[in-house]
Chains A and B, each alone.
Chain A
């Protein structure tokens, strides 16, 4: 009888402890969440304020909920700078680079992973070795090359040098190496050509890796800043990040229209957040994959 009571008490204690722990975790979670989300909420709040009410500071009041809500920023932003043009440029460049990189990387990765030819391993080592070279080392001569080619301020300069990276080849090669060979052998016996094996066996088995690379390359290109800044001059060739920077430069000598700037910034964020929400799994897998290989 006494033992039972004691046991009941113990169980209750453990339960209470667990409940306490869970609530503590929630407290930390919410604290972290608030820290991360508040600046973004301020961004949204600012984007819904008119030029004058952004500076509501005069009456010493922090206004989180804009009153009145000023939607016009989201219309004006397309006219103050050629935002639609930036958008189209960004999408075009991003799609071209991503497609080019995933395709050429997949070809090369297949050869490195599966085909035997003289010099293969030395070549792969050269690919690997370049991965730790800082971007600025190669960026300087490539920038000079662009000038020599007369590619400055063209889509060619925005797209072509960004397609070829050792990283994509490396990532896919590592993945192809893990695929079982049985299917390929079976295909070979059935008289499938090497191209057929690549196209009908390897690629369909590599959906996850291809999706991961696609997402990483497109995200990287969508936010890429220094290179497009270097090789574009005219407003018409700017991508979104550079366009935003240009937008801000318009206000160099005055207090910027922060409402407009924040609206513009938010517009650039939306597509990538949607892509992320639908592909979270690949993001996480990709990070783990690259992290583990380190």
Chain B
């Protein structure tokens, strides 16, 4: 038996250490990425053999055709779902502001602060299905808490107020889901990240500003806001990336994607194509569309992230 050099030994050990993880990674991540790319060029219902159809999935997805002199989308449902997804993402700036606001308040060393932090964090550690059920109950048209309060309030004023069809009207369903999202998100991960960022701002800056006679409002805009901008930017980018992949559970539990498909997001559409309609290739096509968007957002982050924010030199 020949004796191995120590570098060879180390290399063998390296491969052995990686092997268990790599096998799984290859089977359940690397190969599937390639497979899903290939799937987006086929038509397949998981029963018969997959049929190669070239770019047809993508042409159906994002293409237009002329109908009576007008350009009509080949797949209006896809565009509607993309619109829904973007609409629901409009809550992101408000979520970020709320998280920052909470972080600013929580960033005081006063009695009982940890209790409040824990309370704010509760929705984040709660099973999402439980949260969706809770809000479906609160939004319930006939017996829900919110409509109950509205009607009581009306009685108090001596007017007859109608309950709001929170989840059952196309006008209200999306704002209702956004409100719930705000409630879930504002005290969660982002608040913790902002808190860490706030605690990282050097004390001396504030002390210097105070000596110069800057009020707390000025101090916030002149010091806090620029100093935490990397965190704000990171949170915004992650929220946008997450937003394009969101909305599945709400749609599944609370609205069924309705009414009239008004709460069907791209993620729920993918599920429908994959599971309900067995359009595996088409589902892969949509997934790749989302991937491309996420990739562009990430590129934007790499390219401009450093320029838009203030990196501290401490």
Q: Which residues of A contact B (CB under 8 A)?
A: 22, 25-26, 28-29, 32-33, 35-37, 39-40, 42-43, 46, 54-55, 57, 60, 62, 103-105, 107-108, 110-112, 115-118, 120, 123, 126-127, 130, 132-145, 147, 160-161, 163-166, 169, 194-195, 198, 219, 222-223, 225-226, 229-230, 240-242, 244-245, 248, 255, 258, 261-262, 265-266, 268-269, 272-273, 276-277, 280, 283-284, 287-288, 291-292, 294
Contact = CB atoms under 8 A, between A and B. Distances in A.
B187 to A, nearest CB: 6
B21 A105 contact: yes
Chain B contact residues: helix, strand, loop or mixed: helix
A268 B25 CA distance: 31
Interface stretch (B32-40, B205-213, B217-225): B32-40
Interface stretch (B64-72, B76-84, B144-152): B144-152
A272 B183 CA distance: 19
Given A105-B21, A108-B21, A169-B21, A241 B290 contact: no
Nearest 5 CB-CB pairs, A to B?
A164-B24, A265-B130, A117-B14, A115-B14, A108-B21
5 contacts: A33-B116, A40-B122, A141-B31, A164-B24, A245-B129
B57 to A, nearest CB: 12
Contacts of A225: 128-129, 248-249, 252
B134 A32 contact: no
Interface of B: 7, 9-15, 17-18, 20-25, 27-33, 35-36, 39, 46, 102, 105-106, 108, 110, 112-113, 116, 118-123, 125-130, 133-135, 137-138, 140, 142-143, 145, 148-149, 151-152, 155, 183, 187, 189, 192-193, 196, 231, 234, 237-238, 241, 244-245, 248-249, 252-253, 267, 270-271, 274-275, 280, 283-284, 286-288, 290-291, 294-295, 298
B20 A269 contact: no
Contact of B129 (A111, A144, A160, A265): A265
Contact of B32 (A32, A46, A134, A145): A145
A210 to B, nearest CB: 15
Contacts of B196: 287-288, 291-292
Contacts of A261: 133, 137
Contacts of B237: 294
A160 B105 CA distance: 43
B22 A108 contact: yes
Nearest to A42: B145
B21 A36 contact: no
Nearest to B253: A245
B17 A110 contact: yes
B137 A269 contact: no
B148 to A, nearest CB: 5
Contacts of A194: 9-10, 13
Given A36-B120, A136-B267, A262-B134, A142 B28 contact: yes
Contacts of B30: 126, 130
Contact of B127 (A133, A265, A292): A265
Given A32-B102, A33-B116, 8 more contacts: A36-B187, A137-B32, A140-B39, A140-B283, A145-B32, A194-B13, A226-B271, A287-B196
A111 B14 CA distance: 5
B28 A255 contact: no
Given A25-B110, A132-B295, A226-B248, A266 B25 contact: no
**Which of A40, A132, A261, A287 has most B Cβ within 10 Å?**
A287
Contacts of A123: 18, 22
Given A33-B120, A37-B119, A62-B148, A55 B32 contact: no
A54 B11 CA distance: 66
A226 B27 CA distance: 20
Nearest to A116: B10
